[in-house]
Structure 1
Amino acid sequence: MTHKILLDMDPGIDDAAAISIALTDDQFDVKLLTTVAGNVSADKTRLNALKLVEFFGVQDKVPVATGAQMPLLKHYQDASHVHGASGMPGWDFAPVTTKPLTQHAVEAMRNVLMTSEEKLTVVATGAFTNLALMFRMYPETKTKIDRLVVMGGSLSGGNMSSVAEFNIYTDPHAAKIVFEAGLPLVMIGLDVTMKALLSHENIQKLSTLNESGAMLQALLGNYADDETEGKPMHDVNTLFYLAHPEYFELTDYWVDVVTEGPAMGGTIADILRTSHDGQANVSVATDIDVAAFNEWFMSEIARIK
């Protein structure tokens, strides 16, 4: 099965790993890559996306458009302490010659969606500012989206506060708009991404696979998100889900996004189903097969030519 997708991201080291797979696996047909301020500023996420489409030689096939430079209302706070000042340090990429689209990401997303003959899957792994703006400006685009698969949120604890995950925390008002857009939405959050660690053993093997593996190993060497057993590959899990949903456990909940106060950015599930007439707006990934993830990731990188 080929997944026709629109990627909205903030590369970012784990984004770079996800992009590497999305651009090189035939089961993913990437129609557009848009960027947003998140892990690093919007000018840097755009540059990093262009570096990757050129690295994989798909610059004439996959257009890049840059989007929102700041959250809707909240003060912008990057994650350069995790991803480095550039967002992708460690590899000497060739100077970029490709130009991004002149259109803003919101306009580019709208055009791709509305001219598509079939519905597309939107994979979002950064702040949700671009999507929120599109849904507010062009609500008709919702009719051309099959589903949203997002990396963000957590039901079990955050990495920006006791409850807030970074992508949601970066622009909680945008996340609330997206979560309440009325579209099928799969939330791949910290509940699974902090389990799906790429083992240190596998990270050390990457450079023996090919140039792509060497590039990713170099980036991961500068990735400060580190656990005892490996490194969390947060954004890659969206693609793993699309490729192998059988390795995930999902539960449907109504999930609210907190937009103010000390819990800002929290994703709160109605576990007792006492609100919204017991309805659900999100399918939340709650467990994952870690061994299968590692095997899949390494095989994905190994087959890149």
Structure 2
Amino acid sequence: MGTSGRQSTVSFRSLMWREWPIILLAVICLIIATPHFVAAEINESAPPTIQAPSDVEADFVVFGDSQGSFGYVWPVAPVFDNMLRLINEIDVPMAFHVGDFYVGESALAMDVEDQAEYFLNDMAELNITWWPVMGNHDAAGKGWEITKDIIFDTADTYYSFETADSHFTVLDGFMPGYEGRISERQMAWLENDLSENNKPHLFVFVHAPLYSLDDHLGSSMDRDIELRDRLANLLVENGVDVVFNGHEHSYASFGYRGLMQVTTGGSGGHLRGLADFDELEDECGYNIEEVTRYKTIKTLHYVCVKTTDEQIEITAYDLEGNIIDQFSVPA
């Protein structure tokens, strides 16, 4: 696919010139209503320390939820540029963005077409191939068709491809009429895709988690519990090694019922904490006896993945180059 080579057709400068009266009015109203908002966003773009860890090699990087807080000025979070520069310093051939590229359709946002071009201008800074996953912000309102046409080079918003030792499957959990679930057509495609895999490593990407760990409970891939369980069972039965998702603006590694789920929603969207371990049963309704791993931290981050013959090594870094989680999954 190679979307990293795409060039934007709309410059941010021309966009600002065309929209400046609306932008100015909106900013003034926002400053009056919430006096600390703008300062918080500006500070967000310049954390105290930004550095990549040294001597890191990975097969791919995963990150997500780069949407900004105010769609007329920051449809993409300012800090996202910094994250892309860090990833450029890593020895890695490709990346996955697990969705919520930008704010999406909103009364207080520029047109989705312009947001998509703004996002692609940012992504042009990334020196490697990257692969998109449809998020709920990207699909909101009329956004799904627009995002599909501008961001996705594939015929469908769900697709798969292979490297020498890995199979990658990308799902769309926010197709019109199927928000938070997989359509029967996509499910049939997925069953065939997974059954034909002969690679030793198998990864799946979807924007919303199958097992929500915060207030997205009931608005993730669990809107229909029966369909969620059917999807989860299909992934486990076909030996999926890891499912990567965003949607929840934090980091988590969650092993549950034979499935390893890694949540990486820390690319700039407003951070939120996830459930404590003792809340998994009381608040989320999960059987803690079936939990094999659970670690979470509320911070901006990205995830590096390296495969070997014996295992899959997963390391999550914050934007200061610190390891916030590291574990392996047997091959």
In proportion to residue count, which structure has more strand?
2
TM-score range, shorter chain: 0.3 to 0.5
Name the structure with the higher helix share: 1
TM-score w.r.t. the length of structure 2 is 0.38
